[in-house]
Amino acid sequence: MCWKEATIARVRETLRMKDQIVPAEAHYARTKSCSLILADIPFLAGDIAEAAGIPAIGVSNFTWDFIYETYLQDEPDREAILESLRASYAKLKAFIQLPFHHEIEGIADTFEVNLMAQTTPVPEEQILSGLGIAPGDQRSVVLFGMRSGVLDVPRIARCAPEFLFCFPGPAADWPENARPIPQGPGLGFIETMKIAEVAVSKLGFGILADCIAARTALVFPIKEAFREDEYTQRAAARHLRSCPLSRQDYESGHWSTALRAVLAQPAPVDRIPLDGASQCAAVIARYL
């Protein structure tokens, strides 16, 4: 859920404090002998870099003025806020456009790159063993991919006994078909993603990239008033099996219909290259 009023208040407060924030952060950058600021994607990064005498590069699939345009629709200071944000972004020396982006204007150099995502070399057999999943278990593994918002794990698991769920732990009187995601080195979220057939998560860039890389289907709870979703939903439909989950079904724990629906979809034909990290590194090196 997006808290519109609180978001607008925080933006106004940040702009009000700009003259204190920028010199303090620039001083920190100088004391640490920073050569460059890489920003994802606070609008004051360009101001801070300018004050510190170093370049700044933005990296994202959106900018906050684009998100705030609709939030500020009826606000009397809408144009002043947006102009201030855009003036700050214009101070970036470059902008690395991640996939699934909107049109970004006003920055001198922009570079489109391919997808970058987390992957793991850990073998599937080792992951299954670490999760306590028997080699012959035929249940589809479902990964819950949000840091917060787990409502009632026992209810979710009992409503869909044909699935094996992995949730952030620790387990607390969970049914047999619910397991905690390990948090140790070599076995964690990305390893669990590798053996999962479906992830349930909000539709953000990071989870979308990880699902595409792992070829894991995605069921996403519908959220309101976040403009980026227009672009990420199109990407999800094109690059992986995906299905929305109503807010009511998400909160009640009735996920099985959406899970079955997404697994019945054909595999996507389009594949996006995963060499975005090396492309980003090449852009960054140009400004060091």
**Domains of the chain as residue ranges with CATH:** 4-114+279-286 (no CATH), 124-263 (3.40.50.2000)
Q: What pLDDT does residue 147 have?
A: 66
pLDDT reading at 40 higher than 80:
yes
Smallest Cα–Cα separation from 204: which of 242, 166, 252?
Answer: 242
Q: What pLDDT does residue 270 have?
A: 83
Q: What pLDDT does residue 182 have?
A: 82
Contact 187, 166 (CB under 8 A): no
pLDDT reading at 56 higher than 60:
yes
Distance CA 118, CA 268 (A): 20
Q: Where are the strands (E) in 51-116, listed by range?
A: 56-60, 94-97, 109-112
184 vs 28: which has the higher pLDDT: 28
Those residues with Cβ within 8 angstroms of residue 213's Cβ, 6 or more apart along the chain or in another chain:
115, 117, 118, 119, 274
Q: What pLDDT does residue 150 have?
A: 61
Distance CA 189, CA 238 (A): 24
User: b/e per residue, 217-238, with b = 16+ CB within 10 A?
Assistant: bbbbbeeeebebbebbbebbee
Smallest Cα–Cα separation from 62: which of 99, 13, 88, 107?
Answer: 99
pLDDT in tens, 66-106: 999 989 999 999 999 999 999 999 999 999 999 998 888 88
Burial class (CB in 10 A: 0-12, 13-18, 19+), 117: buried
Q: What pLDDT does residue 149 have?
A: 59
Distance CA 28, CA 49 (A): 11
Q: What pLDDT does residue 194 have?
A: 96
Joined tokens for residue 247? 């807010």
CA distances from 178 to 73, 161, 163, 191, 195 (A): 44, 10, 9, 17, 15
Side-chain-side CA neighbours of residue 191 (13 Å)? 20
DSSP 179: E
Distance CA 46, CA 166 (A): 40
What is the CB neighbour count within 10 angstroms for residue 118?
15
Those residues with Cβ within 8 angstroms of residue 100's Cβ, 6 or more apart along the chain or in another chain:
61, 205, 208, 231, 232, 234, 235
Q: What is the mean pLDDT of the chain?
A: 92
User: Angle at which helices 4-16 and 18-31 pack, to 10 degrees?
Assistant: 70
Smallest Cα–Cα separation from 241: which of 229, 259, 254?
Answer: 259
Lowest mean pLDDT among 182-186, 193-197, 218-222, 232-236: 182-186
pLDDT reading at 285 higher than 60:
yes
pLDDT reading at 272 higher than 60:
yes
Smallest Cα–Cα separation from 146: which of 177, 115, 174, 181?
Answer: 181
Q: What pLDDT does residue 186 have?
A: 82
Helix (H, G, I), strand (E, B) or coil at 150: coil
pLDDT reading at 33 higher than 90:
yes
Contact 56, 36 (CB under 8 A): yes
